[in-house]
Chains A and B, each alone.
Chain A
Amino acid sequence: MTAYIARRLLHLAPVLLIVSAIVFFVFRIIPGDQAVLRLGEEADAESVARLRRELGLDRPLAIQYAAWLGAALRADLGESHLNRQGVFSLVVEKFPATLQIAVLGMAGSLMISVPVGILAALHRGTWWDQLTRAAALVGFSVPRYWLAVLLILVFAVRWRVLPPAGFAPFGEAPLASLRFAALPVLVVALSLAAVQMRFLRASMLEVIDQDYIRTARAKGLSGRVVVFRHALKNALIPFVTVLGLEFGSLLGGLVVVEQIFNWPGVGWLMVQSIVHRDYAVVQGAVLLVATGFVTINLLVDVAYAALDPRIRYS
């Protein structure tokens, strides 16, 4: 297992290097001189030249990249020119809000997908199974932003039982925070549940057809023991991977949800920064999100290998 983890960590380094290079160079495409963009068109040539020197823009691109990467490794991602705060601390500050929606949404989706997925697999071909499959396919195709608008329409505009948007920090006002979080969490839970249901059903079906399940039944074990102890345990292994990947992709998938519900998380921060041309923040946030995404994927792989020894040796 140690060898496997070491191998995966070795694989991580070049990927992160490429990620950082992509982030760096994507933000060099921005048309126009960075110094002029900051100082405004009317700035005199001398102050532009001075700022170019200060920002290191007069040096070769490779040196600029190395300097930027070196600073990034020390958690120095530059400064937001909008509110003069360090980019790293700005993103870290917004992260708990994003995490709140992601964790609650994930928990909610499991409450839907696990029972529904298992029942669909156990009753293959029945109307329940057909209904589940159809619901999952529609759920999978419904854009999250439309689902959000639908839920706002029903719960906030028509019934007026939940606020259409807004935020309260969980640490200060937990109840208000949960009330504001209810609709965004529901959007995430419903859209994730669609994918999970499909996957769990398929993975249960694959396991149920195996010889050892027939053996377990032939031994006279009760249906419940066969389903929960023999089938579900094995079906859950690939399911864990799906959950991990979903969680990682949520870092990106929450951008629109946060925007709609005015929920000040990392995605919301990115959109605001793009609107205000605060590129240092966008660049830093993209780098941190990608690093988080890669790290979560690594943890998923390690968890998978820990659960299923066959993976380690392949």
Chain B
Amino acid sequence: MLRRDRGALAGALLFAAVVLAALFAGALTPYDPLAIRMQDRLQPPSARHLLGTDELGRDLLSRILHGGRASLSVGVVAVGIAATAGTAMGLVAGYYGGALAAVIMRTVDGLLAFPALILAMALTATLGPSLTNAAVAIGIVTIPAFARLAQASALAIKEREFTDAARACGAGDLYVLVRVLLPNHVSPLMVQTSVSFANAILTEAALSFLGLGIQPPTPSWGAMLDTGRRYLDQTAWYSMAAGGAILIAVLGLNLLGDGLRDALDPRLRGARAARLAEEPSG
């Protein structure tokens, strides 16, 4: 599937590069991302420091690579929470219908009534700023997208003959939900996962930018962008590098999501109707 769509392939490669760089951050750069060397502060890129140094003389490249770990782990946890809870809620609501569905979907509507960043800000403000809390907050605000999608899938799939066939063979509700509805929901789930992952990275960076996410000295793209802008008149590299990292990760995921969507539903080529439910919050 990926081979047919050059955009999706490029997206997958870009994102894979980001993941690998974050995973092997320690091996790729010789510098400790937390090692302070004041005599080397705010240096431009050089052979020694490929992206230069920050205001405390720390190597920017190694901070960017290690910052990727934080961004990606927030993305994984947030999307994990949202995909699991949202899909379960949506499938159950779609399959059973009635009062249960009404309660579930009204709650989802209630969550959807908040601009994502606002609710995430409120949650991290009350839970206290940290990597874990940012991930949980972003996970919660992402639930509606998955729940809506799963409900729509369940409504369509439960009317199909193979669902009737499974039930006629004596399958119980749990079997139908997990073994019939879920596997048939995998394609839209994949697209949503890549889109939501991109949005989670953007939202996490926005939270860290506002000081509500990952706390210093742990490197984080959003916080680096915020600190970097204070030194714009001295060095542009600082902010540019942090923003560039976010852009590469998000662009990769968006290309992948677009390609998957096109491959799964050619009618939607270039359109992005489903995505409108969750605008990027950056």
Contacts and interface: CB of A to CB of B under 8 A. Distances in A.
A27 B250 contact: no
Interface stretch (B19-27, B90-98, B104-112, B179-187): B104-112
A62 interface: no
Interface in A195-224: 195, 198-199, 201-203, 205-206
Given A149-B243, A253-B279, A271-B210, A141 B198 contact: yes
Interface string B232-254: 11001001101100110011001
Nearest to B272: A198
B110 A22 contact: yes
A68 interface: no
Given A137-B251, A153-B236, A270 B121 contact: yes
A205 B229 CA distance: 41
B52 to A, nearest CB: 15
A289 B228 contact: no
B272 A199 contact: yes
Contacts of B273: 199, 238
A26 interface: yes
Contacts of A256: 117, 206, 209-210, 282
A26 to B, nearest CB: 5
Q: What is the interface of chain B mostly: helix, strand, loop, or mixed?
A: helix
Contacts of B240: 150
B107 to A, nearest CB: 6
Interface string B147-172: 00000000000000000000000000
A252 B117 contact: yes
Interface stretch (B41-49, B58-66, B73-81, B122-130): B122-130
A143 B246 contact: yes
B118 interface: yes
Nearest to A295: B113
Contact of B246 (A21, A146, A249): A146
A279 B30 CA distance: 44
| Among A142, A206, A259, residue most surrounded by chain B Cβ atoms (within 10 Å) | A142
A3 interface: no
A202 B206 contact: no
A198 B106 CA distance: 31
A309 interface: no
Given A140-B254, A249-B279, A294 B126 contact: no
A146 B250 CA distance: 13
B188 to A, nearest CB: 18
A293 interface: yes
Nearest to A253: B281
A230 B10 CA distance: 37
B178 to A, nearest CB: 28
B38 to A, nearest CB: 24
A9 interface: no
B212 interface: yes
A144 B282 contact: yes
A270 B113 CA distance: 18
B210 to A, nearest CB: 6
B271 A15 contact: no
B205 A137 contact: no
B281 to A, nearest CB: 6
Contacts of A286: 114, 118-119, 122
A152 B229 CA distance: 9
Contacts of B111: 22
A29 interface: yes
B269 interface: yes
Nearest to A270: B121
Contacts of B236: 153, 157
A95 interface: no
A137 B118 CA distance: 25
Contacts of B279: 195, 245-246, 249, 253
Nearest to A31: B128
Given A18-B109, A150-B243, A270-B118, A145 B209 contact: yes
B115 interface: yes
| Among B125, B198, B233, residue most surrounded by chain A Cβ atoms (within 10 Å) | B125
A92 B272 CA distance: 34
Interface string B267-282: 0111111001001111
B148 to A, nearest CB: 14
Given A203-B271, A256-B282, 10 more contacts: A14-B106, A30-B126, A145-B206, A149-B232, A152-B232, A238-B273, A252-B115, A256-B206, A293-B114, A293-B115
Interface of A: 14-16, 18-19, 21-23, 26-27, 29-31, 133, 137-138, 140-146, 149-150, 152-153, 157, 191, 195, 198-199, 201-203, 205-206, 238, 242, 245-246, 248-249, 251-253, 255-256, 259-260, 270-271, 274-275, 279, 282-283, 286, 289-290, 293-294, 297
